[in-house]
Amino acid sequence: MFSRFHILNFLLPSAINKKLCVRLLLWAMRRGKSLKCLLAGCHLYQHSACIYQEIPNSASAIFQASRISLIHYPESPLKSYDKFNPLRHVCPRASRGGVLHRLNKESLIATSRIHQRSFGSTTKNIQRNPSFSMINSDDISYFRDILDDNTVIQDEDRLSSANIDWMRKYEGSSKLLLLPKDTDEVSKILRYCNSRRLAVVPQGGNTGLVGGSVPVYDEVIVNVGLMNKIISLDKVSGILKCEAGCILENLDSFLANECYLMPIDLGAKGSCQIGGNVSTNAGGLHFVRYGSLHGNVLGLEVVLADGTVLDMLGSLRKDNTGYDLKHLFIGSEGTLGIITKVSILTPARLSSTNLAFLACEDYSSCQELLLKAKRGLGEVLSAFEFLDTNSMDLVLDKLEGVRNPFPSSLHKFYVLIETTGTDDSYDRAKLETFLVNSMEGGLISDGVIAQDINQASSFWRIREGIPEALMKLSRSTSMKDLVGRSSAKVFSQIEPFVYECDSILLCLQAQSMA
């Protein structure tokens, strides 16, 4: 009868089941199996670029398992599409992965021949598409004819902020920033760029963390920030219509006067724009309550690459009068067109909000806590966010005015649970009962409930401040781009994913020190 150790030697060379490989490696390491013994005889071991000798650490085994992939990325996955859509050229980082293909049997066996592709300016050399034109003085004259002079930007100081992403990791070299004020101007810009073969990159608040809204080379930047009008609000249904350049926090403040709220809440709400939120299918802190924008956006107005305007700005939650094309543009990151208007369903703003900041000692407790929160808190659960001790330490070190709610003790994981309802005493009692039961069950080691809005804001500051702390860290520390090495994970799969990322970082650190 085969043991798990015997099965491991068959699975690693054939790459049949990546997740099982990772779990088996974890199982083996916890039982003291030798790393070299585990990988001996494996095809992967013979062809690995980074292996036992460089990192005498059990984590490197997981790194090796992570290199086995059931999909590969063609060098030019959308090459034919590039020929007729200038928007595709603008941001290859926004289309990571492209078209995915299943490997055949031979490819599964010959793991060393899998094409490994890394994404990002730090790991892949890319070249400007020669089929796209360069901007000349005639182009500038045309844009000045159709736009106001103060919306055709060539000043280097103003261009510098538009050329670099929020994380200060990716930087383009665009010489032209356009600020259209309405849909017609966007249409004219794209129609002209299409006829002239000028590459375009759409941009909103430029708050993304992956460089998707900045130029790769010298593309024309089309920023919709001046398209910031609120068109209408149906006070009965809560359906809001607005332009794509509206800032998320401004929309939420407007809705607060009418007892509604935006279904998404982001740390960058003070500068991110609704058009960018929709283009990236942003989830936000209240995803567990209100879901994704695919379920909340009712309609869109979009300008295609050739200047065609698609009016899909409906206001019906159930509309069977044709194909629901808007979902193609939600999450497309501007590669199919520029969103100019949005129709979105806004939920009612409830009067009672409670927030708890909790400490857990292991990841499985966080998982179990989420499951019990969904069942125990039910309809009042509005947010469930967690962070690890590394994130906490980074925020405390890089951000001013942030304090650990548990200064006298250290914990491996932290969880924020928010409830929202209509009866404050009932909601608070329900949350307290849930927390007591969770603490008695060993899921929580410590916890505190916010006593006022200021304390609640300080709790959220910790969670929302992680990207800002990472940005400040990146100014002094080389940040490694792991995109392309690992795919997105659901909550139940994050633990092996974290081990995987840690092992990759350990390997890269060892290489840099060599």
Structure confidence by residue, pLDDT tens digits, 330-386: 999 999 999 999 999 999 999 999 999 999 999 999 999 999 999 999 999 999 999
Residues whose CB falls within 8 Å of the CB of residue 207, separated by 6 or more in sequence, listed in order: 166, 268, 271, 272, 276
For residues 180 and 509, which has the higher predicted lDDT (pLDDT)? 180
Contact assessment for residue 448 and residue 456, using Cβ atoms and an 8 Å cutoff: no
How much helix, strand and coil, in percent to the nearest 5, is found in the chain? 40, 15, 40
Greatest CA span in the chain, whole angstroms? 79
Residue 18 has pLDDT above 70, yes or no: no
Verify that 378 and 274 share a domain, yes or no.
no
Length of the chain: 514
Which among 318, 345, 372 is the end of a domain? 345
> Number of structural domains, the chain?
3
- Position 496 in a domain: yes
Which among 300, 318, 345 is the end of a domain? 345
- Position 113 in a domain: no
- Position 361 in a domain: yes
Verify that 381 and 459 share a domain, yes or no.
yes
- Position 333 in a domain: yes
Verify that 95 and 229 share a domain, yes or no.
yes
Task: Name the nearest CA neighbour of 417 among 452, 454, 387.
Answer: 387
Q: How confident is the model at residue 17 (pLDDT cuts 50, 70, 90)?
A: very low
Verify that 187 and 249 share a domain, yes or no.
yes
Q: What is the DSSP letter of 321?
A: S
Residues 410-422 pLDDT 10s: 899 999 999 999 9
Which among 310, 345, 380 is the end of a domain? 345
What per-residue confidence (pLDDT) applies to 122?
44
Q: What is the CATH number of the domain that holds 400?
A: 3.30.70.2190
281's tokens? 């299918």
Q: What is the CATH number of the domain that holds 161?
A: 3.30.465.10
Residues 234-279 pLDDT 10s: 999 999 999 999 999 999 999 999 999 999 999 999 999 999 999 9
Residue 14 has pLDDT above 70, yes or no: no
Mean pLDDT in residue range 71-93: 36
Q: How confident is the model at residue 79 (pLDDT cuts 50, 70, 90)?
A: very low
Residue with tokens 């065609």: 308
Residues 494-505 pLDDT 10s: 667 766 776 776
What per-residue confidence (pLDDT) applies to 275?
97
Q: How confident is the model at residue 209 (pLDDT cuts 50, 70, 90)?
A: confident
> What is the chain's mean pLDDT, rounded?
78
Verify that 137 and 206 share a domain, yes or no.
yes
Residues whose CB falls within 8 Å of the CB of residue 361, separated by 6 or more in sequence, listed in order: 411, 412, 413, 445
Residue 120 has pLDDT above 70, yes or no: no
Verify that 371 and 465 share a domain, yes or no.
yes
Q: How confident is the model at residue 87 (pLDDT cuts 50, 70, 90)?
A: low
What per-residue confidence (pLDDT) applies to 126?
74
3-state SS of 63-111 is HHHHCCCCEECCCCCCHHHHCCCHHHHHCHHHHCCCCCEECCHHHHHCH
Verify that 223 and 332 share a domain, yes or no.
yes
For residues 503 and 387, which has the higher predicted lDDT (pLDDT)? 387
Verify that 37 and 62 share a domain, yes or no.
yes
What per-residue confidence (pLDDT) applies to 286?
95
What per-residue confidence (pLDDT) applies to 407?
82
Verify that 159 and 51 share a domain, yes or no.
no
Residues 423-447 pLDDT 10s: 999 999 999 999 999 999 999 999 9
H-only helix segments in 383-490: 389-398, 424-440, 453-464, 466-474
Q: How confident is the model at residue 322 (pLDDT cuts 50, 70, 90)?
A: confident
Residue 169 has pLDDT above 70, yes or no: yes
Mean pLDDT in residue range 217-226: 96
Q: How confident is the model at residue 115 (pLDDT cuts 50, 70, 90)?
A: very low
Strand pairing report for 220-223 and 200-203? parallel
Structural domain containing residue 126: 75-99+119-345
Sign of CA dihedral 116, 120, 125, 127: positive
- Position 58 in a domain: yes
Verify that 239 and 301 share a domain, yes or no.
yes
Verify that 282 and 340 share a domain, yes or no.
yes
- Which H/E stretch holds residue 221? strand 220-223
- Position 477 in a domain: no
Comparing 175-179, 393-397, 446-450, 468-472, the range with the smallest average pLDDT is 468-472
Rounded CA gap, 432 and 225, in Å?
A: 43
What per-residue confidence (pLDDT) applies to 36?
39
Verify that 198 and 299 share a domain, yes or no.
yes
- Position 114 in a domain: no
Give the three-state DSSP class for 437.
helix
Q: What residues form DSSP beta bridges with 225?
A: none
Q: How confident is the model at residue 409 (pLDDT cuts 50, 70, 90)?
A: confident
Q: How confident is the model at residue 492 (pLDDT cuts 50, 70, 90)?
A: low
- Position 109 in a domain: no
For residues 408 and 30, which has the higher predicted lDDT (pLDDT)? 408
